[in-house]
Amino acid sequence: MGFELRRPEGAEIDDDTIKLFSRVAKWAGMAAALRVRKTLGPAIRQGMKVLDVGTGPGIIPIHLKRSYPYASLIGLDISLKMIKTASHHNRKLHRAPADAVSTIPFPLHGCLMRSNRY
């Protein structure tokens, strides 16, 4: 029996991995968003920015937007290919390439942050 060990990707990611992340995210995204709602939900207020660090294909922000239409959800990922995939899944999602908090292209004051628990 063989399997491929998947590790968190870097800036360069192959198309097969993107397809795998997208497939898994489609069926697991709602459950992941539920965990985030339980953790961050009470703190999300009108006009607040919520960052999804390591957004991958951007499925979690899609589910969160349904519960918090008044918040600005922003997906961040180190991989430009993942950002493009997230854009394909939801054209209204704000997204940006970022490899660490120090490179996020806007001030963090007043933001809530959700990090990928890969």
Token pair 């809530």 is found at 112
Token pair 């854009």 is found at 87
Spatial strand order of the sheet with 94-97 comes to 94-97, 72-77, 49-53, 111-115
d(CA 98, CA 96): 6
Give CB contacts under 8 A, 24+ apart, made by 88-94: 89/22, 89/57, 89/58, 89/59, 89/62, 90/58, 90/61, 90/62, 90/65, 92/65, 93/58, 93/61, 93/62, 93/65
Task: Using alpha carbons, select from 118, 93, 115, 97 the residue that is nearest to residue 106.
Answer: 97
Per-residue pLDDT of the chain (118 residues; tens, 9 = 90+): 444 444 555 556 778 877 887 777 777 777 888 888 888 878 888 888 888 888 878 888 888 888 888 888 888 887 778 777 777 666 666 655 555 445 666 666 666 565 555 4
- DSSP secondary structure letter of residue 58: S
**15-115: CATH topology:** Rossmann fold (3.40.50)
Token pair 């660490």 is found at 100
